Structure 1
Amino acid sequence: MGCSASEVSNSLSQNPQYTVTPLSSSSTLNQQPNSNRRPKRDYRIDTNEIIQNFLLIWLDENIDESSDDYLNSIEQLRRTINTIEIFHDTNECIDYMSQVQNEKSFLIISGALCESVVSRIHDTIQLHSIYVFCQKQEKYEEWAKNWSKVKGIFTEITSVCDAVRQSARQCDQDDIGITGVSSLNQIEPSFMYTQLLKEIILEIDFDEQKEIKDLVEQNIMMATIPTLQENNLESIYLIWLDAVVDQSQENIDAQQQIRSIINHLKTFQNIQDCEKYINQISKDDRILLIVSGQLGQEIVPRIHYNRQIFSIYVYCMNKVKNEEWAKHFPKIKGIITELNDLLNQIQLDHFKRIENKVDEPFIINISKFNNNNNNIIDKSTKELNGEFLYSQLLMDCLLRMKSNLTDKNEFINLCKKFYENNSKELNLIKEFEKNYSSNQVLWWYTRDSFIYRLLNKALRIQNIDLLFVFRFIIYDIEKQLKLYQCSSSIRVYRGQLMSIDELNQLKISIGEYISINSFLSTSLNRQQAIKFLNEYNFSHNLQKILFEIDANPYINNLKSFANISSKSFYSNEQEILFMFGSIFRLINIKQDNNGIWIIQMILSNHNNENLKILYDNIKNEYIDINNEISLLSFGNILYQMGKYDLAEKYFQRLLKDLSNNHDDISKCYYSLGVLALIKDNYDLSLNYHEKSLKLLKPNDSRLADSYHCIACIYQKKEYFKNALEYYNKALNIWYNKFGEDYYQIADCLSNMGCLNEKEENYSKALEYHQKALKIRKKLLPKDHSDFGASYNNIGNIYLYLHEYDLALENYEYSLKIKIKSLPIQHSSIATTLENIGLVYEEKKLFEKSLEYYKKAANIFRETFSSNHSNMIDIEQSIKRISSILESQILTTYF
């Protein structure tokens, strides 16, 4: 059978005891006779590997090995590279270098020899860098320009040592992916020796802060610009399909005019590419299609009923001919022969669409608090308490984070970059930059501008990077909604188009709570809302919906809602705006005599006590004494959501902004270490933890956090004695500081259970997991995700003991808790799905096993790279079970 996955406890918080609880156990068990897979554990880890496989060669005919300068230099260099070879003879040195195979070489050479030797050895594969040590720097500078491996001309040995150390460090970072794998198979004494070298390296002085800041700035640019260039940050796409769309100047000029109406324009000259592009666009976005008569007759029947297609315009030369086939497709808004008429029609329809908003996409999240259905792990469903919980938490965090002038400038620069070829929108951005004030935010939000379009999509798809720079706008909107909060009960209306599937999802959710991730615009005028619905001819797969919402402002803990007519760009509308994340109770759904579905809802503060306790517990970990959330806490929340790349990005951003002596630097290093561990970058993780330790005082209890993570690293590398040593160091600090009932102690005990599991001490492992569970029950709310980790790891023990029913029982209970407490795409959920697949594999229920493996793989792909250990394991499992099923089919037929 395969190996089950254990989960290591990781938690990032900003309490006085700041921690990313490493290795909180949840694992996947890989222990079957016919495979090398183990169940997965739930842990949290950080690691960093030691510089090794590096060789320093020093060639100098006149070197005095007894001098103090020489001895001091060697001492400095050995802090970085342990293997140093000294040569006085040129030929001996070259012969030696030609025999080096598995080590990267650094060469220090005297000025007297450099010109004659470098030409002979420069292209040697293992030679990484050359450093010329001489008396007259200017004598060799011109010569050195011809040799790329020459890293510098030095007149002082301390400068040579500094340059070698930095090159070795950089080279080690570049080789992490290779050395990290090979070092796992080395014997323990060798590992300890290289660990010692790494400790010495960390004592080296160099301008580390500057290097990190430069790297972060580069990474932020690399992360942001491709997003702007490749993705549409708005919800509307305009696609133009015509064999000659880019061949006439008239069409090219028209494209520029169209972009002033709809920013994202994509042109195609053939049906295949166009159809492929359409099918890649989310069904929650909207497409306006311009198509020639000839190509339209072929493509429209194939894409007309795609949910994302909203309007089609046939731009042709023969109107009568194309009207015949077009009449069967209600999304076709016109058969147009003149370019000006086409542009006018698109603009008219666009303004109408802005006014009525009936097909404006927004996501409804359904939270079935009493849902006992275990089959809720499909990506398509929104009935996930964890998803709901973290969506609410994320928005709460954004509102609590302080913003400043730099944030506004970052927002403006991002908008300018996205709209760089749209003169109309750029003029609006300039106007915003010059005139915006917080009391005008509703005027700007309701205007047809970049603010409305970018913010609504960012909220809908949870584009965290964009929401982060938008947070001052979000904050200002909430402030205005609170200021103008409705003072009496009201009933409001919203017309909306929905697919049959979307409607059916709501029909089976009557009595449940729903939340809407975007701002919700409604009207006091029922007839106006119905009028908007009736203005359109819609295809048969879309249903007309009228939301009928009752809102009472005197209920406690409601999201704000206000009549914004006096503050709106369109002051004649009776618009009531609800804050994003508003929660509603779904009361009833019925169809009236005109075929409109009436959905009755009440604005609510969900009263599920367990969810509220869990939400408050998570939120309170991150809020400071001023009721605010820092950038550090924001990164920690992203980590808890399983958004590891984003969390890393914000930790690096914070590291760039902090002063050299700021207390949060050690916390950043610690958090980055945890993330590196999760990504299997063990050496990098250890490096970060050691940096964090260097900044802490001897009596700081946070030392235990990094000791714990370092133990996890050793455990991952299967150096169990070292892991146990560091676990005990962490435990001693926590016991002395906090007593026995401390949540980090539970994490540590759980990880020690995983360690004993690896050593096949199953009874001892179970004992540790049960101790951890006992502490968690004393400290944590009922549905906390750490309970999911505990039951996952207990399931692993039963799986190893071949108690498959008990294993499955614990895994399913773990999954139930995780779904309540984590986002559905969290890798911890995938871990338990994978373990359930292992149980079914052991039970020879291969189709069921494959089903769970595939569900786990879908989540892992959203989180990890293809070469991550979790991805490699799950792909091997899918391949293994698929092969078994194929063999069974062949046996059946032959």
Structure 2
Amino acid sequence: MDNKNLKQGASDSSSSSSSTASNTNKSSSVAAGATTVVSRSATLPRPVRRIIQNFLLVWLDANIDETKEDFKNSLQDLRKLVASITTFKDPQQCVNFLSELKKEKIFLIVSGALGQQIVPEIQAMPQLETIYVFCDNESYHEEWTKTVSRVKGVYTDIKSIFQALEIDRERCDRAMISISFKGLDPLFMYTQLLKETLLEIEDDYRQSIKDLAEYCREQDDIPEDQIKQVENEYRNHTPIWWYTAETFIYSMLNRGLRQMDVNIMLRMGFFIRHLHNHIAQLHREQQGSMPIKFQVFHAQGLSNEDFEKMKKTKGGLMSFNNFLLTNRDRKTSLENYARPATRNPTSVGILFVMTIDTAICTKLSTPFAEVSKVSYYKDQEEQILFSTHTIFRIDRIERIEDKHTDRLWQINLTFEDNQDDDFNKLTARLREELRWTTGWSRFGDILIHLGEFAKAEHLCKTLIEKASNDKERSDYYQQLGKVYTDMGEYSKALSSYERSLEIRKIALPPNHPDLAISYSNIGLIYDNMGEYSKALSSYERSLAIRKIALPPNHPYLATSYNNIGIMYKNKGEYSKALLSYERSLEIRKIVLPPNHPDLAASYNNIGIVYNSMGEYSKALSLYEQSLEIKKIALNENHLDLALSYNNIGVVHQNMGEYSKALSSYERSLEIKKIALPSNHPVLATSYNNIGMVYGKMGDYSKALSSYERSLEIRKIALSPNHPCLATSYNHIALPPNHPDLAASYNSIALPPNHPDLATSYNNIAIVYKNMGEYSKALSSYERSLEIRKIVLPPNHPDLAASYNNIGIVYDSMGVYSKSLSSYERSLEIQKIALPPNHPDLAASYNNIGAVHNSMGEYSKALSYYEKDLEISLKALPPNHPSLAASYNNIGAVYDNMEEYSKALSSYERSLEIQKVALPPNHPDLATSYNNIGIVYKNMGEYSQAFRYYKEAEEIWKKSLPSNHPHIALVK
């Protein structure tokens, strides 16, 4: 029977808090003026930055002559429609340029001759929106363009291209309105909060207009006359007039909201508020005159990817993440905006038919208004303008029958009044999480939650520059530290938090609560860096301030005690961790409602400590309490529920209840699959855990399948230097070069003495051990031990695990004296660090007994095996597989001592437990039958021996490959 390995603890989830404050953003400026780039040489034009439009124009013609007045006039007229224009004479340069612009939409004017040459090569590019062939021989070029869907037409007059381009430009802008779907897009969760945040910011609109004008002049693609018009005449017109006018306002706002462009949002925040307020004012004025129920239409192109999302969300909610202009004319919408989108093979044409029921509109509803009388184009058909982030329910999706295309669809939507219970609960929870921040600071927090770290970093840096006082500046440094923390750039995070602390120490009294926040966040960084002593010191400094500055039961005190508990747990000081966690829980029970998520976190963290102490029944009870609260407080597919199911699975696994463990792990995986992208690394953890349980249950093919899925996800989701890849490699048989590869992954990814690096070296050693390369395994285990000796206290349980694992390798190599020495060192630490009946102590006694057995010292072996059994009987459930292993090992010693009746009794007790605990075809059952057969053979009872051998053979045949050596043993 194999040595028992020390078990790993449950996945750790803690509510270690970091309070942050604000956000900022600033980009480098570029040359002013609208942009025309003319390519004369082999040097490829550098793509310019566009901020006002979602598209650009490329003109390819070998005969372009920029000195001619006709050409200059044409460019000037084109620039009224498209600000950024790049011209080429050389077709290859043009193709290269187009290839680089993967995230833009491109209109292409091309001469007939060069078009015939390059269009077949470029027509599949998704960034290519529309092609206009400009030539002298219309009939000739119409022939080859008939089969190219993206060719809008063949033109002999540049003015005809102007007219076509004007329509296509508007269509393209419409198609760039982003849409998010409930349950599929993280942005959807934040739609209401994002709108609230943008609308609550107060600033001086006069200064905002100056800032906007200054910013626009720094860019490449805004005509000066339009900037001056906004600067000088803004108050002369209504916001809706500006939104519908032929200026940069519409396109720039569209791009800013679509891309969450921080630079644009900072400069146009005032206009978002003015436009929303104007729509809301008209909505109030028009409420009495609007029909109770009516339909409006909006058409646009939608990418194939977004259309697939929409089909998955049928019956659910979706949001237009922009202001939305609709009309009452179905045919105009269909023909002008939906049908042209079908020319692009990467998109479908969508006609949205929106039903509005004014009877259900409430104060919470997104306002909308009829705007044709106040818009720039006062003579157009009736138009309804919705404020930003309007939510609709998707009622029906059906293809529009059309003889020209099968990619034209009608989507029936119903306007929602923001009364969806699930959505409102989620919004309330997110609002609670972000309650400490407002305005641009909250906008930064939303960016962080969405994983838009580069944008959040940019915003924070801009706000730091613009800060008007020390409090603002220190708060923004705090938020910048949060950005870097979530990015995993801990040294930068530490620098930001320390800069904030320096400012606060000068500006604030010595016991101000904001200082406690700074110390707490610095502690969090040291924790993430594996420097637990420094983290503990920072957390304790934070707690000391909070004890003076805050009431005795303030929630922040609970947070401090919780964080200190995490540190003691990481240091292996479980009794101290338990005291801190329980103090945190006491406070939370007083100040929080009974189903608050922080209470769930406290029960979870206490459960983790009990699991680490081997008190599995207590751990299970606490995990279940945590889960019950989460079921009430959180969305049914919230990731915290997945964490609870995972931790419950770990406890069941430790208790030997494998079917229950499997059920919990699978429930955890189900939630993760709904809440996360298909290749998120957290899914890999679930597949890994499921594989482990199948392995324990003897179902090796399912175990291998799960491990391989785990590895597959990690290879896609993680950088090649991520330590988690090594964990996946642990469980799968690999060629000899793979562990070396894994070793390089880990040493690059982490600081040289980080505890996680020690874990990675430990995992790599397991791979080598499983491959039989014991010297390499020993080297990796020893490297892991070296790191742990540096970063952990001298009696930390992880050190005991290292010594134990080194002992296993020496045992496998037959170097019993060194094996015994390592096991005994492990046992010494465990006696200090762990409770007296901890299962890991039992495992150490078992391993020492195994060495004595191998050395022929049977009486010593028996003594240690009996100590193992004594602890296991107290620590584990009565039918735990580890108890079966203990009885088996005692039976093996009695067999070696030729005390066959005692051996038989022990083997039979082992078999009884296995019959209850394991599946009927588990290989360990076959081992027990085989061992009992051996004893009967040694006793001369051959018929009995034969019966047990046959039982073993039947199980091995079902559970092992036909060429496995165990099957040969009983033939």
2:577 paired with 1:779? no
2:363 paired with 1:525? no
Q: 2: distance between equivalents of 1:309 and 1:759?
A: 58
Q: 1: distance between equivalents of 2:444 and 2:226?
A: 32
The match for 1:564 is 371
The match for 1:55 is none
The 1:317–1:347 alpha-carbon spacing in structure 2 relative to 1, beyond 3 Å, is closer
Structure with greater contact order relative to length (CA < 8 Å, sep ≥ 6)? 1
The match for 1:711 is 523
CA contact (8 A) 1:364 1:516 kept: yes
- SS in structure 2 at match of 1:299: helix
- For residues 200-215 of structure 1, the aligned pairs below 5 Å read none
Percent identity of the aligned residues? 24
Q: 1: distance between equivalents of 2:648 and 2:543?
A: 23
2:536 paired with 1:730? no
Q: 2: distance between equivalents of 1:879 and 1:509?
A: 37
2:208 paired with 1:407? yes
Cα RMSD for the two superposed structures: 4.8
Please state how far the C-alpha of 1:796 moved relative to its aligned partner. Answer: 8.0
Q: 1:234 aligns with which of 53, 60, 78?
A: 53
Q: 1: distance between equivalents of 2:255 and 2:446?
A: 22
Q: Normalised by the size of structure 1, how large is the TM-score?
A: 0.61
Superposed CA deviations along residues 648-698 of structure 1, whole A, max 9, x for unmatched, are 4444444444455x5444433433444455521234533433433443323
Please state how far the C-alpha of 1:562 moved relative to its aligned partner. Answer: 0.5
Please state how far the C-alpha of 1:576 moved relative to its aligned partner. Answer: 0.6
Superposed CA deviations along residues 592-640 of structure 1, whole A, max 9, x for unmatched, are 555763321111034342431331343356568xxx9344444444444
Q: 1:510 aligns with which of 306, 314, 317?
A: 314
The match for 2:710 is 849
The match for 2:84 is 264
- For residues 357-756 of structure 1, the aligned pairs below 5 Å read 360-368=175-183, 383-384=184-185, 386-404=186-204, 405-419=206-220, 425-437=223-235, 440-485=238-283, 486-487=286-287, 488=290, 489=292, 490-498=294-302, 502-532=306-336, 536=340, 538-539=342-343, 541=345, 543-554=348-359, 555-556=361-362, 557-573=364-380, 574-592=382-400, 594=402, 597-619=409-431, 629-660=438-469, 662-678=470-486, 679-681=489-491, 682-731=494-543, 733-734=545-546, 744=556, 747-748=559-560, 751-752=563-564, 754-756=566-568
Q: 2:571 aligns with which of 759, 784, 805?
A: 759
Superposed CA deviations along residues 438-485 of structure 1, whole A, max 9, x for unmatched, are 852111111222011111122122213212211111111111111111
- SS in structure 2 at match of 1:220: coil
- SS in structure 1 at match of 2:519: helix
CA contact (8 A) 1:366 1:514 kept: yes
Please state how far the C-alpha of 1:257 moved relative to its aligned partner. Answer: 4.3
- SS in structure 1 at match of 2:277: helix
The 1:849–1:882 alpha-carbon spacing in structure 2 relative to 1, beyond 3 Å, is same
The 1:412–1:223 alpha-carbon spacing in structure 2 relative to 1, beyond 3 Å, is closer
What residue identity is the alignment partner of 2:219?
F
Please state how far the C-alpha of 1:433 moved relative to its aligned partner. Answer: 0.9
What residue identity is the alignment partner of 2:160?
Q
CA contact (8 A) 1:794 1:807 kept: no
The 1:330–1:668 alpha-carbon spacing in structure 2 relative to 1, beyond 3 Å, is closer
Please state how far the C-alpha of 1:872 moved relative to its aligned partner. Answer: 4.9
The 1:21–1:500 alpha-carbon spacing in structure 2 relative to 1, beyond 3 Å, is closer
What residue identity is the alignment partner of 1:569?
Y
Q: 1: distance between equivalents of 2:552 and 2:100?
A: 54
Please state how far the C-alpha of 1:712 moved relative to its aligned partner. Answer: 2.5
- SS in structure 2 at match of 1:477: helix
CA contact (8 A) 1:795 1:809 kept: yes
The 1:735–1:877 alpha-carbon spacing in structure 2 relative to 1, beyond 3 Å, is same
Q: 1:349 aligns with which of 161, 164, 168?
A: 164
The structure with more strand, counted as a fraction of residues: 1
Report the more deviating stretch, 442-451 or 304-313: 304-313
Q: 2: distance between equivalents of 1:508 and 1:651?
A: 36
Q: 1: distance between equivalents of 2:308 and 2:370?
A: 31
The 1:716–1:688 alpha-carbon spacing in structure 2 relative to 1, beyond 3 Å, is same
The 1:451–1:354 alpha-carbon spacing in structure 2 relative to 1, beyond 3 Å, is same
- SS in structure 1 at match of 2:238: helix
- SS in structure 1 at match of 2:718: helix
- SS in structure 2 at match of 1:436: helix
The 1:669–1:320 alpha-carbon spacing in structure 2 relative to 1, beyond 3 Å, is closer
What residue identity is the alignment partner of 2:162?
Q
Q: 1: distance between equivalents of 2:388 and 2:255?
A: 12
Q: 2: distance between equivalents of 1:883 and 1:318?
A: 67
Q: Normalised by the size of structure 2, how large is the TM-score?
A: 0.57
Please state how far the C-alpha of 1:700 moved relative to its aligned partner. Answer: 2.3
Report the more deviating stretch, 359-368 or 250-259: 250-259
- SS in structure 1 at match of 2:190: helix
CA contact (8 A) 2:645 2:667 kept: no
The 1:325–1:612 alpha-carbon spacing in structure 2 relative to 1, beyond 3 Å, is same
Q: 2: distance between equivalents of 1:228 and 1:5?
A: 47
The 1:316–1:786 alpha-carbon spacing in structure 2 relative to 1, beyond 3 Å, is closer
Q: 2: distance between equivalents of 1:299 and 1:535?
A: 26
- Structure 2 gaps of 5+ residues are 1-6, 33-45, 598-631, 693-702, 739-770, 772-971
- SS in structure 2 at match of 1:566: coil
What residue identity is the alignment partner of 2:323?
F
The 1:509–1:735 alpha-carbon spacing in structure 2 relative to 1, beyond 3 Å, is same
Please state how far the C-alpha of 1:848 moved relative to its aligned partner. Answer: 1.6
- Structure 1 gaps of 5+ residues are 13-18, 23-215, 369-382, 859-865
Q: 2:134 aligns with which of 301, 306, 315?
A: 315
Q: 2: distance between equivalents of 1:264 and 1:331?
A: 21
Q: 1: distance between equivalents of 2:315 and 2:641?
A: 33
CA contact (8 A) 1:773 1:790 kept: no
The 1:696–1:880 alpha-carbon spacing in structure 2 relative to 1, beyond 3 Å, is farther
The structure with more helix, counted as a fraction of residues: 2
The 1:610–1:336 alpha-carbon spacing in structure 2 relative to 1, beyond 3 Å, is closer
- For residues 844-883 of structure 1, the aligned pairs below 5 Å read 845-854=706-715, 856-857=717-718, 872-873=722-723
The match for 1:293 is 112
What residue identity is the alignment partner of 1:407?
S
Rg comparison, structure with higher value:
2
CA contact (8 A) 2:651 2:661 kept: no
The 1:287–1:10 alpha-carbon spacing in structure 2 relative to 1, beyond 3 Å, is farther
- For residues 44-123 of structure 1, the aligned pairs below 5 Å read none
Q: 1: distance between equivalents of 2:724 and 2:466?
A: 39
The match for 2:882 is none
Q: 1: distance between equivalents of 2:52 and 2:726?
A: 37
